A and B are shown apart, each in its own frame.
Chain A
Amino acid sequence: MSSTVTTPETSPGSAPAPSFGNNLKASRSALPSGDRVFEGLVAGAAGVIPLLAAAMLLLLAVASWTCFQEQGFGFFTTQDWDPVKEHFGMLAFAYGTLASSAIALLTAGPIGVGIALAITEFTKPKYREIAAWVVETLSAIPSVIFGLWGMFVMAPFMRAHIEPLLVHIPGPFFREAGTGLSLLTAGLVVGIMILPTVMAVCREVFNAIPISMRESALALGSTRWEAVRLAVLAPSTPGIIGALILGMGRALGETMAVTMVIGNRAEISTNLLAPSDSLASAIANQFAEAASPGHLSALAALGFVLFLITMLLNMAARLLVWAVANRVRH
């Protein structure tokens, strides 16, 4: 083996600390060929991911080209979706995707963080694993089952009991009760689906904080809740946002559960109890039967828009995490 590993001077009795970093940069050619090959393979494997993403984007762009040509820029500004007259617009679906994901995050966010806090801070150690396991079994349920449950249990429940109460709230969000198949129901069902993700990641984040931090807060005279707020929640903000990003990613792409409960009506309305439609749901519903090239291309264009929305939101969220993390350090 080559002697590129230097061992820095350390106090007697302690093991030498290997440091590969500097030496790799300085004398790559001195590495054994096996290492170079391995490095190349690993770099190649890592490079496949962005290449795949770029290839998918390119494929979608090519497939949607006919649609962009025929519909022009109007495709991005109109909510009309008429396969007979071949006039297509993505606005209603984009609204449905974003709105249902927002409702899902607003539901899963506070509840997920709350459950994670309860498990890590306020549950006896011997019950923590069981409590976590119960929530995580939710993530094992296929989304089609959620869709069926939503359609046969949740939607009738919303229609019979919740919507009559909600219509009393003044404002544009709960104007008129509907069939239970609505944006709100879809958002809630997806919220339940992303809850385990948010909870699991938050739990990891909270567990990573050393006990000494909580102890110091308590030692300074804070109450239990203040200690949690200062020692656990405050430094975990980037991690919590990361959990929400993961949840958001799943919520944006959720297809089967959404399509069964959202009501499938391509129309923008501030009324959360009105039916709506989402990008993924429209593609899943219409792709099999679409026979005209214009319709097919329009559906591919919806896929393109979904890809863009997911990519942009993820980038924005990562920037947010970076900004918050930097602020916290100062």
Chain B
Amino acid sequence: MMTPLKKAGLAAALLVGFASQMSALSLNGAGSTFIYPLASKWFYSYQQDKGVEINYQSIGSGAGIQQLQSQTVDFGATDAFMTEEQMSAVQGGVIHLPATMGAVAVVYNVAGVDTGLKLDGSTLSKIFLGTISNWNDPAIAALNSGVSLPDLKITVVHRADGSGTTSIFTDYLTKVSTAWATTAGHSTAIKWPAGVGAKGNEAVAGVVRQVNGAIGYVEFAYAIQTKMAYAKLKNKAGAYIDPSMDSVSKAAEGALRRMPEDFRVSFTNASGEESYPICGFTWFLVPAKIADHAKGQALVDFLNWSMDEGQKMAPSLNYAALPDSLVEKVKAKIATIQF
């Protein structure tokens, strides 16, 4: 049995440990899987820098919104901005803060066809609707003179799980195709007219790489990292653009001109000669009024840091940094958070 001295020593050690745990501030967040690679690097670096621990669960944008509404997390992250109905369920109001931008690449696997196949909105929507079902269809051939397309069935691969990537992709298709708008619509999860589903960006990339004749959509970073062939898409101005940091930033600049005050905007099919048509923001969702002063200060400090230091880390992970003019506006918005 422990001597009284040992017992006292153990109790003291536990108390000190417990106390130090309590005094180190920690924040909790949940939401988008799209932003997770970048966000986890941010949280790690921020902790090294300032000592504040931020726990983040990448459970999906919808689940992040649910957690924010039930006040189990301090902030959320989402790829699809909240509706008025969802916002009214957050006590005290909620603020959307653009954190980063990403592109959705259309990847494909056709033997003999290199990367850079040209597709436009109308053809892409017909492929995903199932009306174009073979790679040598005249519509695809018309856009790609000089490319020999094989007589091969198109296998559409989409997301099986609800996802912000799906939300951005279907938002684009809804804008460019009335047939798509009336049939499938846009949301994080829809009824897909054609194709098989795979769970997560990783699985979609995996299936497309294995099946000859497959086409799918993945978050841009996955296309780069797995070295897949991706399509050049025709933007609103009529140019065929590759997804890249640059083309996403150009698209955001186009959207800046008509940016609403609460940043809730989609900029798919943006105007601009060099804009890539399928990209979107990921927003941090922050309560407009934070009860705990210390937490509020810590969160605001982190958000400001993410606008300065954080943005510099984005390109190395294949995320697009926010344009400077937008960063100014976001910082002004951060300053309105009450705590």
Contacts and interface: CB of A to CB of B under 8 A. Distances in A.
Contacts of A281: 160
A289 B60 contact: yes
B206 A152 contact: yes
Closest 8 CB pairs of A and B: A289-B162, A264-B197, A264-B160, A84-B185, A289-B62, A288-B60, A82-B191, A291-B62
Contact of B199 (A85, A260, A290): A260
Contacts of A287: 63
Contacts of B155: 179
Contacts of B199: 259-260, 264, 285
Contact of B162 (A152, A259, A285): A285
Given A286-B161, A288-B59, A289-B189, 9 more contacts: A83-B189, A151-B203, A155-B210, A181-B207, A260-B198, A264-B196, A264-B198, A285-B161, A290-B162
Contact of B195 (A151, A265, A290): A265
B89 to A, nearest CB: 10
Interface size class of A (residues with CB under 8 A): 20 to 34
Contact of B197 (A83, A263, A295): A263
Interface residues on B, range: 20 to 34
Contacts of A264: 160, 196-199
B244 interface: no
A265 B196 CA distance: 6
A83 B207 contact: no
A83 B186 CA distance: 10
A196 interface: no
Interface in B24-66: 59-63, 65-66
A263 B194 CA distance: 11
A83 B161 contact: no
B191 A80 contact: yes
Interface in A255-274: 259-260, 263-266
A159 interface: yes
Contacts of A83: 187, 189-191
B125 interface: no
B192 interface: yes
B196 A275 contact: yes
B264 to A, nearest CB: 15
A293 to B, nearest CB: 9
Contacts of B162: 285-286, 288-290
Given A179-B214, A285-B161, A285-B162, A290 B189 contact: yes
Given A151-B206, A159-B211, A288 B161 contact: yes
Given A85-B185, A156-B210, A288 B197 contact: no
Contacts of B186: 84
Interface in B267-299: none
Nearest to B63: A288
B188 interface: yes
A179 B109 CA distance: 13
B86 interface: yes
B42 to A, nearest CB: 22
7 contacts: A152-B206, A178-B196, A260-B203, A285-B197, A289-B60, A289-B161, A289-B189
A81 B62 CA distance: 18
Interface in A272-313: 275, 277, 281, 285-291, 295
Contacts of B184: 84
A179 B207 contact: yes
B226 to A, nearest CB: 14
B306 interface: no
Contact of A84 (B190, B196, B211, B214): B190
Nearest to B79: A289
Contacts of B210: 155-156, 159, 180
Contacts of A289: 60-63, 161-163, 188-189
Given A80-B191, A289-B188, A179 B160 contact: no
A291 B64 CA distance: 10
Contacts of B61: 289
A285 B159 CA distance: 9
Contact of B196 (A80, A82, A179, A295): A179
A155 B211 CA distance: 10
A66 to B, nearest CB: 15
A289 B66 CA distance: 9
Nearest to B162: A289
Contacts of A290: 62, 162, 189
A285 B191 contact: no
Contacts of B60: 288-289
Contacts of B198: 181, 260, 264
The CB with the most chain B CB atoms within 10 A, among A259, A264, A277, A287, is that of A264
Contacts of B65: 291
Interface in B172-204: 184-192, 195-199, 203
Interface in B119-170: 155, 160-163
A291 B206 contact: no
A259 B210 CA distance: 18
Contacts of B195: 265
Nearest to B213: A179
Query: Which of A151, A156, A289, A295 is most buried by chain B, counting CB atoms within 10 A of its CB?
Result: A289
Nearest to A266: B191
A275 B197 contact: yes
Interface in B80-106: 86
Contact of A179 (B59, B163, B191, B211): B211
Nearest to B189: A83
A260 B195 CA distance: 15
A290 B65 CA distance: 10
Contacts of B185: 84-85
A152 B207 CA distance: 9
